């Protein structure tokens, strides 16, 4: 117990330090950005120097760097992220509808990725060396190599434009089912790019389990293959679970691009356009929120896996390296 507690504390500390570092990086990036923030606050209107000075005072733009950073952090911790420069409304209100769309898209792709990734990983491990194994591996190689926007564009062209099976852009305006229908193709494109990683990890974890004594005994006792597979899958679940954190990170990275391909009004599109518009509070908030989700998910998964299976530390490190080397 003492060990687990120490691990959890260490992981939580790592999370807090990561978030602090990220907040600092994001804030300072936007601080050193060229251009006068007061100017972009008033837009293209003609203003007097007095008005500019007033704006600078209102937003605390003349304060030293660390004072501004401290103000921003304490505001953020109280749920106040400032106002969008472009929309003139509080960042949270402005972002909420976009965030809802993106969360639906990411959740849909996450479910699809886990289902398909684990399924094809098992199929590939069970048919090791056979045609279906190499076929799945080849598709997975394309999946890991292909950027999500290129996959999205192919899908858009083939399935929406040529076959007409899916809508071409936007999220529709006809209720929940229609929106799901509009999100289906982008979600599949994201899934294709992301689930390849899960296929690879499931495959190698399942192969490790297949070689173990208990699998041999189960087979020798003529247990139904499906039950053997379920037993192996249960034991192989730690690395698969661990990689979910990385999958989530890839999904949030990929969604920015896929949303742009399908013109979906989500966080990704908002981030890209806000970056171009220099809408600093919005960019800060989206970047910080997505970073928070990714770091938080990976910390939760790490701790969960540790609690379920404390001997997984060694293996976890191994799989992390598999993930990162692709």
Partner 1 sequence: MRRLAAQDSVGAASLRLSAGQACRPWNGMPVSIRICTCVLIVIAAFVIAPGLFAPGALEQDALLGAVPPGTAGHPLGTDSLGRDVLKLLIAGSRSAMVGPCVIAVGSIVIGILLGGIAGWYGGAADWIISRYADITLSMPTLLLAIVAAGIIGGGYWVSVLVMVILYSPFDIRIVRSAVIAQKGKPYIESALILRLSTLRILARHIFPNIALVIFVNLFLNIAYGLVSMSSLSYLGLGVAPGDADWGRQLSDGRSILFDNPASALCAGAFIVVTAVCVNAVGNWLTERNALG
The residue within the footprint of partner 1, chosen from 57, 93, 145, 219 (CB under 8 A), is: 145
The residue within the footprint of partner 1, chosen from 291, 306, 312, 319 (CB under 8 A), is: 291
The residue within the footprint of partner 1, chosen from 40, 68, 144, 210 (CB under 8 A), is: 144
CA separation for the pair 259, 252 (Å, rounded) = 11
Q: How many CB atoms lie within 10 A of CB 249?
A: 18
Task: For residue 211, give the DSSP letter.
Answer: T
Residues with Cβ within 8 Å of 207's Cβ and at least 6 positions away in sequence, in order, are 125, 128
237 lies in the binding site for partner 1 (CB under 8 A): no
Question: Please, which of residues 189-228 interact with partner 1 by CB under 8 A?
Answer: none
Residues 152, 109 contacting (CB under 8 angstroms) = no
The residue within the footprint of partner 1, chosen from 17, 67, 96, 308 (CB under 8 A), is: 17
Least distance (Å) between residue 219 CB and partner 1: 27
Burial label, 199 (beta-carbon count in 10 A; 0-12, 13-18, 19+): buried
Least distance (Å) between residue 274 CB and partner 1: 9
CA separation for the pair 247, 324 (Å, rounded) = 12
Least distance (Å) between residue 5 CB and partner 1: 20
Question: Please, which of residues 65-124 interact with partner 1 by CB under 8 A?
Answer: none
Furthest-apart CA pair in the chain: how many Å?
Answer: 87
In 3-state terms, the chain is what percent helix, strand and coil (to 5)? Answer: 80, 0, 20
The residue within the footprint of partner 1, chosen from 87, 135, 208, 272 (CB under 8 A), is: 272
The residue within the footprint of partner 1, chosen from 298, 305, 312, 316 (CB under 8 A), is: 298
Structure tokens at 198: 């899960």
The residue within the footprint of partner 1, chosen from 252, 285, 306, 319 (CB under 8 A), is: 252
CA separation for the pair 320, 277 (Å, rounded) = 37
Least distance (Å) between residue 319 CB and partner 1: 12
- Residue 12's alpha-carbon distances to 15, 17, 206, 302, 309, in angstroms, are 5, 9, 30, 10, 18
37 lies in the binding site for partner 1 (CB under 8 A): no
150 lies in the binding site for partner 1 (CB under 8 A): yes
CA separation for the pair 221, 69 (Å, rounded) = 65
Least distance (Å) between residue 221 CB and partner 1: 33
Which residues of the chain form contacts with partner 1 (CB under 8 A)? 14, 17-18, 21-22, 25-26, 29-30, 32-34, 141-142, 144-147, 149-151, 153-154, 156-157, 161, 249, 252-254, 256-257, 260-261, 271-272, 275-276, 278, 280, 283, 287, 290-291, 294-295, 298, 322, 324-326
């Amino acid at each position: 117990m003492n060990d687990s507690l120490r691990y959890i504390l260490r992981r939580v500390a790592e999370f807090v330090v990561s978030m602090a570092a990220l907040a600092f990086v994001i804030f300072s990036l936007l601080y050193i950005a060229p251009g006068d923030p007061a100017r972009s606050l008033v837009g293209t209107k003609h203003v007097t120097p007095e008005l500019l000075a007033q704006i600078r005072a209102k937003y605390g733009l003349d304060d030293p760097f660390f004072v501004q950073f401290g103000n921003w952090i304490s505001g953020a911790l109280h749920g106040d992220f400032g106002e969008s420069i472009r929309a003139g409304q509080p960042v949270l209100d402005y972002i909420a509808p976009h965030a809802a769309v993106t969360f639906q898209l990411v959740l849909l792709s996450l479910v699809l990725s886990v289902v398909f990734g684990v399924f094809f990983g098992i199929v590939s491990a069970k048919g090791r060396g056979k045609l279906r194994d190499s076929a799945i591996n080849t598709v997975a190689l394309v999946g890991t190599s292909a950027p999500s926007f290129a996959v999205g564009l192919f899908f858009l062209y083939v399935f929406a434009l040529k076959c007409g099976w899916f809508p071409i852009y936007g999220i529709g305006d006809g209720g929940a089912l229609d929106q799901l229908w509009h999100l289906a193709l982008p979600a599949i494109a994201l899934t294709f790019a992301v689930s390849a990683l899960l296929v690879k990890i499931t495959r190698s974890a399942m192969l490790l389990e297949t070689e173990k004594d208990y699998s041999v005994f189960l087979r020798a006792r003529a247990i139904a293959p499906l039950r053997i597979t379920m037993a192996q899958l249960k034991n192989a679940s730690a690395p698969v679970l661990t990689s979910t954190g990385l999958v989530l990170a890839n999904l949030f990275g990929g969604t920015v691009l896929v949303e742009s391909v399908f013109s979906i009004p989500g966080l990704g599109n908002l981030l890209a356009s806000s970056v171009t518009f220099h809408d600093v509070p919005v960019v800060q908030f989206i970047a910080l929120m997505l970073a928070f989700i990714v770091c938080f998910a990976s910390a939760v998964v790490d701790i969960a896996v540790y609690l379920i299976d404390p001997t997984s530390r060694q293996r976890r490190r191994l799989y992390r390296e598999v993930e990162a080397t692709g």
